[in-house]
A = this chain, B = another copy of it.
Amino acid sequence: MAIASNRCLDCTVRDTALCGGVDIDDLATLSAIGRRRALGAGQVLTWAGDANLLCANVVAGILKVTASTANGREQIVGLLFAGDFVGQPFAEESTVTVTALAESDLCIYPRERFERIMGEVPGLEHALLRRTMASLNDARERMLTLGQRSAQERIAGFLLDLVDRTAPFDAIDPISIDVPVSRGDMADLLGLTIETVSRQLTRLKVLGAVALPRAGRTILVRDRAILEALANPG
């Protein structure tokens, strides 16, 4: 028990994850049902349509949450980073597929046991509610993008989100950012095709907004103002 508790106290996402607000004593309860699991890039945690057996906290890495049409087209409906919560408590069946985009570590709980603990550990349900509402806000913003914005606006906005995520608030150009997903995933995230993503990026390069060293996942933002103008025209 003490060992289990210590395991949580040492956790790298102790402060940012769901368990952050939980009392030290209650941590042991959580810890007792949690198991670490590593996922390789491309490995799937849960499939849409399968029985909904688990919840988890992301300890490290990055995962995508996807929904698919009957004929196989895929839409990324969310990205998960260290500290994020994964899963759908109280649902019998999973409605989304969760896939690791890179090596990831998770702290996994059996769903039903996790639900029971939520009723016992004060603050846990509240914390999850806040996270779920934040996810909903995120989803709504993404709906706005998917429904109303042009390819240009989507790419520029995506890059700005990345800058805000990785760089300090008052960072000055140029800022080097590491795109955590492939072009294909960018396309699925933004509701575009790979080719359109690629074309818009080279357009940004021509405009001088970014530089694309060695055609890969590193992007150098040379002029943030240009990106902001393109993301919000008008």
Contacts and interface: CB of A to CB of B under 8 A. Distances in A.
A67 B140 contact: yes
Question: How many copies of this kind of chain does the complex include?
Answer: 2
Interface in A129-185: 129-130, 132-133, 135-137, 139-144, 146-149
Interface in A92-110: 95-96
Nearest to A142: B143
Interface of A: 65, 67-75, 77-78, 88-91, 95-96, 125-126, 128-130, 132-133, 135-137, 139-144, 146-149, 188, 190-191, 232-234
A96 B144 CA distance: 11
Given A148-B69, A148-B75, A133 B95 contact: no
A74 B136 contact: no
Given A88-B133, A136-B136, A232 B70 contact: yes
B96 A140 contact: yes
A86 B177 CA distance: 38
Nearest to A153: B69
Given A65-B140, A74-B148, A147-B188, 17 more contacts: A73-B149, A77-B139, A77-B144, A88-B133, A89-B133, A95-B137, A125-B129, A129-B129, A132-B132, A132-B136, A136-B136, A136-B139, A139-B139, A143-B143, A143-B146, A146-B191, A148-B191
A69 B132 contact: no
Contacts of A72: 234
Q: In the complex, which of the residues A73, A135, A136 has the most CB atoms of chain B within 10 Å of its own CB atom?
A: A136
